[in-house]
Amino acid sequence: MIKAMLFGRQRTERGAVMVEMALVGTILATLAIGVAEVGFAWRDASVAEQASRAGARTGSAMGLDDQADRALLGSMVSVLGPQITGSVDYVVVYQPQPDGSMPSGCESASSSVCNHYPPGALEELDVASVWGCGAGAYDSGWCPGSRKGSAETPTELGVVVKLKHQWLSGMMPGDGTAITGRTVMRIQPER
């Protein structure tokens, strides 16, 4: 009788264990996928910051060279790599406001204080005719040659890169999230 009760309990508990394992397994799998999604987004945010720093450093060092923005974008592309470069929404090179922020309107178009670069600009870095501040050039809004940078009147250069991070699993809400990297550096004085 005791043996029958023990074996009977094991059989009924065996079913409960399977149900519990299915529930716990689902929760653990969901958590693992969420951690992976956040990890990949964090990695992209780190790469966006590194790319904006590399671009600002290159633009700052090149100063008044008409090809500064072209080289700046080339530095950013090398940091982003081919996989992330394809997810760039835009890059903006701008003259920062006193508080370091980007002037209004630069997020969508070039002006006399910024250059707005769509994803196509990153694909045309090798096409010399679309660079160099000429009419219709990508960098004609805030021409690198017109930027001032001296010990007496330092000028700063800001770089913003905005990426669209796509969720990999489809379990997160929406189709992705926007990631922004931003850096401001002082333009090196002319020598």
Question: Is 31 contained in some domain?
Answer: yes
Instruction: For residues 129 and 50, give the distance between their C-alpha atoms in angstroms, rounded to a whole number.
Output: 28
Q: Are 114 and 95 in contact (CB under 8 A)?
A: yes
Question: Is 32 contained in some domain?
Answer: yes
Question: Is 176 contained in some domain?
Answer: yes
Section 58-79 average pLDDT = 92
Instruction: For residues 187 and 156, give the distance between their C-alpha atoms in angstroms, rounded to a whole number.
Output: 5
Q: In what order do the strands lie in the sheet with 156-166?
A: 114-117, 88-94, 156-166, 176-186
**Predicted confidence (pLDDT) per residue in 34-60, tens digit:** 899 889 889 999 999 999 999 999 999
138 pLDDT above the threshold of 60: yes
What is the pLDDT at residue 151? Answer: 54
Neighbouring CB atoms inside 10 A of 45's CB total 16
Strand partners, 183: 159
Instruction: For residues 161 and 59, give the distance between their C-alpha atoms in angstroms, rounded to a whole number.
Output: 14
pTM score above 0.85: no
Question: Is 74 contained in some domain?
Answer: yes
Question: Is 191 contained in some domain?
Answer: no
Number of structural domains, the chain?
1
Q: For residue 166, give the H/E element and its range.
A: strand 156-166
Strand partners, 92: 116, 160
Positive/negative CA dihedral, 77, 79, 85, 89: negative
The pair of structure tokens assigned to 56 is 């600002």
Q: Which residue reads 């299915």 in tokens?
A: 22
Q: Give whichever of 3-17, 25-39, 138-152, 164-178 has the largest mean pLDDT.
A: 25-39
Neighbouring CB atoms inside 10 A of 127's CB total 11
**Predicted confidence (pLDDT) per residue in 85-102, tens digit:** 889 999 999 999 989 899
Rounded to the nearest 10°, the torsion over CA 86, 45, 71, 157 is 140
Q: What is the CA radius of gyration of the chain?
A: 26
User: What is the extent of the structural domain holding 159?
Assistant: 2-186
Question: Is 138 contained in some domain?
Answer: yes
Question: Is 81 contained in some domain?
Answer: yes
Positive/negative CA dihedral, 53, 56, 62, 65: positive
Comparing 5-9, 173-177, 182-186, the range with the smallest average pLDDT is 5-9
Question: Is 46 contained in some domain?
Answer: yes
